[in-house]
């Protein structure tokens, strides 16, 4: 494994009621590119992208988002609504205000992808462009998404299980280092192999698999000991509750989105990973109806953790598009 690039030192900005840790690199007069992480990730998840984008002349901004890392966030079941999509997008708009930036290109992976697509709907005047990494634009569903997931996958599906406040965070926090080793693995199956697996093995009940002995886990470790240590320290400090609260707002976000026009007008780039079984490239089919100015690419032989699995391929696609569209 190659050594992980060093992260810039964080600065802290007041935004939307939180003190957000932000990692910046590149020229201040470069086109701003905001990198939004997913779950269970951090700004550190973009460690391979930050120096490459900065070297290409872009002003790179990677926050630890609400509930994560050095930013943290409010705790307690009564504060779950403070992690809804209006707060998550409001945090980023306030961060731009604090940094004196009018508009930025927003790039997001996993949950961060959902946030940046929603930025283009809820804070469109702040969005110059969008890059989705693995996560496609998903238009508003006709029914409550949690009820839909429950109907298809059952109670053990991880997002459905996450709705029970306090349970998942207790399970994952029992041994944070082990939990992170479980998640950060290279996929052992291709998308084609996944499709052929029995339905009961595809119910996304990851937390059942977490309870099995480590030697029985699928795939191979993705990160170095040093990288695992960074994630472990961060999640031991912040806990798991804040990040999981994002999932507890699926239904609330769905209700809040009623009446919001489902059209992304900003120039957009969609980068899929061929073997991501949670967010497969097939999910991008038909995106053009909602995202008219769209370019799509698929990185072969890559699972869910694209920034770490195929950093050079991801960097090349991002920088090429950014230079063509934003100079």
C-alpha to C-alpha distance for 101 and 2, rounded to whole angstroms: 34
Query: Which of 37, 87, 109, 304 is labelled catalytic?
Result: 304
What letter would DSSP give residue 126?
G
If one counts every other C-beta atom within 10 angstroms of the C-beta of residue 220, the result is 9
C-alpha to C-alpha distance for 179 and 241, rounded to whole angstroms: 14
Whether 110 is a known active-site residue: answer yes
Query: Which of 84, 91, 110, 275 is labelled catalytic?
Result: 110
Parallel/antiparallel/unpaired status of strands 220-221 and 185-186: antiparallel
Using DSSP's 3-state secondary structure scheme, residue 298 falls into strand
Sequence-ordered list of residues with C-beta below 8 angstroms from that of 272, at least 6 positions apart, any chain? 134, 136, 279, 280, 281, 283, 284, 296, 297, 298, 299
Using DSSP's 3-state secondary structure scheme, residue 283 falls into helix
C-alpha to C-alpha distance for 257 and 259, rounded to whole angstroms: 6
Residues classed as catalytic: 110, 304
């Amino acid at each position: 494994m190659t050594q992980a690039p060093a992260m810039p030192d964080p600065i802290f900005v007041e935004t939307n009621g939180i003190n957000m840790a932000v990692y910046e690199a590149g020229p201040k007069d470069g086109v701003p590119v905001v990198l939004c992480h997913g779950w269970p990730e951090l700004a550190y998840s973009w460690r391979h992208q930050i120096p490459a984008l900065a070297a290409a002349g872009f002003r790179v901004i990677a926050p630890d988002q609400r509930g994560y890392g050095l930013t943290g966030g409010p705790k307690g079941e009564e504060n779950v609504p403070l992690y809804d999509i209006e707060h998550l997008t409001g945090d980023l708009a306030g961060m731009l205000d604090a940094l004196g930036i009018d508009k930025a290109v927003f790039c997001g992976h996993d949950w961060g992808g959902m946030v940046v697509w929603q930025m283009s709907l809820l804070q469109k005047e702040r969005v110059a462009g969008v890059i989705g990494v693995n996560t496609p634009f998903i238009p508003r569903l006709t029914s409550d998404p949690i009820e839909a997931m429950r109907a298809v996958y059952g109670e053990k599906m991880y997002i459905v299980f996450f709705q029970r406040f306090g349970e998942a965070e207790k399970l994952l926090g029992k041994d944070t280092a082990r939990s992170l080793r479980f998640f950060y693995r290279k996929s052992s199956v291709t998308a084609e192999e996944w499709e052929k697996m029995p339905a009961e093995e595809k119910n996304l009940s990851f937390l059942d698999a977490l309870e099995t002995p480590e030697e029985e886990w699928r795939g191979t470790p993705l990160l170095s000991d040093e990288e695992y240590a960074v994630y472990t320290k961060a999640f031991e400090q912040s806990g798991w509750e804040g990040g999981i609260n994002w999932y507890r707002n699926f239904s609330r976000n769905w209700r809040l989105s009623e009446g919001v026009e489902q059209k992304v007008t900003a120039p957009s780039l969609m980068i899929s990973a061929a073997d991501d079984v949670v967010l497969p490239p097939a999910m991008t089919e038909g995106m053009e109806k909602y995202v008219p100015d769209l370019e799509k690419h698929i990185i072969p032989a890559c699972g869910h953790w694209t920034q770490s699995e195929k950093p050079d391929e991801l960097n090349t696609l991002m920088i090429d598009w950014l230079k063509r569209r934003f100079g």
